[in-house]
Amino acid sequence: GSGDVGPGSDALKVGVFFPGSVSDTGFMQSGYLGYQRLEQAGGVELSYVEQLEASDYEQALVRFASQNDLVVSLGGQTDADVRKVAPQFPEVKFVEIGGPADAPPLPNLAYYDPQQAEAEFLSGAVSATVSSNGTVGFVGGVELPAIVNAAHAFGNGARFAKHDATVLPPQYVGDFNDPAKAKQAASATYGAGADVLGQIVNLGKQGMAQAAQEGGKSMVGGPIPGDCGDPRFVGYVHTDIGKEIEYAVNAVQSGTWAAQQVRFGLTSGNGGTDFVLCSTDPTVAATLQRAEDQLAAGAVQPY
């Protein structure tokens, strides 16, 4: 337990469940960054659990629910357990981040949907623009709905920027955190002609970056923005999962929490999606801006 609030105070008690590792350089870590910001800000009593086997999800959720006012669970893999536990604790508010975007909320369960697809649309647009041969590709961790949609969005973004862009079929590594395989997947896609890759993998990124280095190619980083000094990266998508945890806490504190599907991203006004461009080429910046505007306006659909 942490936060500078002593037990027994009437501060909001929040439990955050990361089924994966909070140092995965991806989805979970992005969420954990938000957790740490909340910790620094103070005023809430926070606790978290990370890295459990599937059979223990339920137990973790129940423990959170019996000690907190708000339980935030990350990742669609916890959906079945969250939907089971939430009804048993009607007075506790639940938020599931990254669950199915079409799942009906329960009276005390809200779904927050990080629009990774929107970010990948931007990523695709940037990739196609900086690509010297107009061929781009995408590497995803596991064939989950959110990732598949993001892969589509990446392709749509590429074609949005360059209508004749060649978008190679997406690669799914089968594991978000396997750098050796991710390197192979990236190498294969580079080998098939792509010179810029989009991605949603976590620790696998290390391998992809290595493939880019060896092939003299480039890629898009993210979801946590990194260093633009690294020539392999044309930019970083910034999907801020932490922002959604902060949003949940704020919503409960301010009494605006509602059991609903909440979208984060360009179209929602809730923010959480962004693109950090490393290229200084004004045409790239212009294309990115155009893509952002069109998305926000609803003129194009990411997928």
Partner 1 sequence: MTTRLLHPATVAAGAVVAALLVGVLLAGLAGADPLTTVSALVEGMVGTPYAIGESLNGVAVLMLVAAGFVIAYRAGLVNVGGEGQLCAGGIAATAVGTGLPAGTPAVVALPSVLIAAAAAGFAWAAVPAALRAWRGTSEIITTLLLNFVGLALVTLVVHEEGLLRQPVTSSETLPQSAPLVDGAHLPSLGLPRSPATIAVAVAVVALVAVGIVLRRTGTGLRLTALGHAPAAAARLGVPVARTRFLALGGAGAFAGVAGGMVVATAPAVLAEGFTSGYGFSGLVVGLLARGSMTALAAVAVLLGFLVSGGINLQLVAGVPATTVSIVESLIILFIAGSAAWAARRRAAARRPAHRPAGAPVETVGATR
Partner 2 sequence: MTLLTQILVSGIGFALPLLVAAVGELVSERAGALNLSLEGMMLSGAFCAVLGSVTTGSPWLGAVAGVLGGLLLGAAQALLSVRALADQIVVGIAANALALAASTFGARLVFTGGTEVPAFDRLPIPVLHDIPVLGPAVFSQTALGWICVLVVVVTAVLLGPRTGRGLRIDATGEDAVAADRTGLPVRRLRALCILLTSAMAGLAGAQLALSEVRAFSDNMTAGIGYLAVVAVIAGRWRAPGTALAAVLFGLAQALQYALPALGVAVPPALLTMIPYAIAVVAVSGLAGSSRAPSCLTVPFARA
Partner from partner 1, partner 2, none contacting 50, C-beta within 5 to 8 A by type: partner 1
One of 5, 33, 77, 206 touching partner 1 (CB under 8 A): 77
Residues 6+ apart with CB under 8 A from 192: 137, 168
Does 148 bind partner 1 (CB under 8 A)? Our answer is yes
Question: Which of 212, 67, 4 is closest to 127 using CA atoms?
Answer: 212
Whether the CB-CB separation of 96 and 86 falls below 8 Å is answered with: no
Residues 6+ apart with CB under 8 A from 108: 86, 87, 89, 90, 91, 92, 93, 94, 259
CB of 185 to partner 2, least distance (A): 4
Question: Which of 231, 233, 205 is closest to 25 using CA atoms?
Answer: 205
One of 33, 52, 228, 296 touching partner 1 (CB under 8 A): 52
Does 184 bind partner 2 (CB under 8 A)? Our answer is yes
Question: Which of 204, 197, 150 is closest to 175 using CA atoms?
Answer: 204
Binding window for partner 2 (CB under 8 A); candidates: 99-107, 111-119, 124-132, 184-192: 184-192
DSSP 8-state code for residue 75: S
CB atoms < 10 A from the CB of 80, how many?
13
Does 53 bind partner 1 (CB under 8 A)? Our answer is yes
Which value, to the nearest 10 degrees, does the dihedral of the CA atoms of residues 63, 224, 297, 141 take? Answer: -70
* Site mask for partner 1 (CB under 8 A), range 81-120, x = bound: x-xx---------------xxxx-----------------
Does 244 bind partner 1 (CB under 8 A)? Our answer is no
Return the number of the residue (113 or 178) whose C-beta is nearest partner 2: 178
One of 51, 133, 260, 283 touching partner 1 (CB under 8 A): 51
Partner from partner 1, partner 2, none contacting 170, C-beta within 5 to 8 A by type: partner 2
CB atoms < 10 A from the CB of 253, how many?
16
Q: Which stretches of the chain bind partner 2, using CB under 8 A?
A: 21, 23-25, 137, 143, 168-175, 177-181, 183-185, 187-192, 203, 206-207, 210-211, 213-215, 226-227
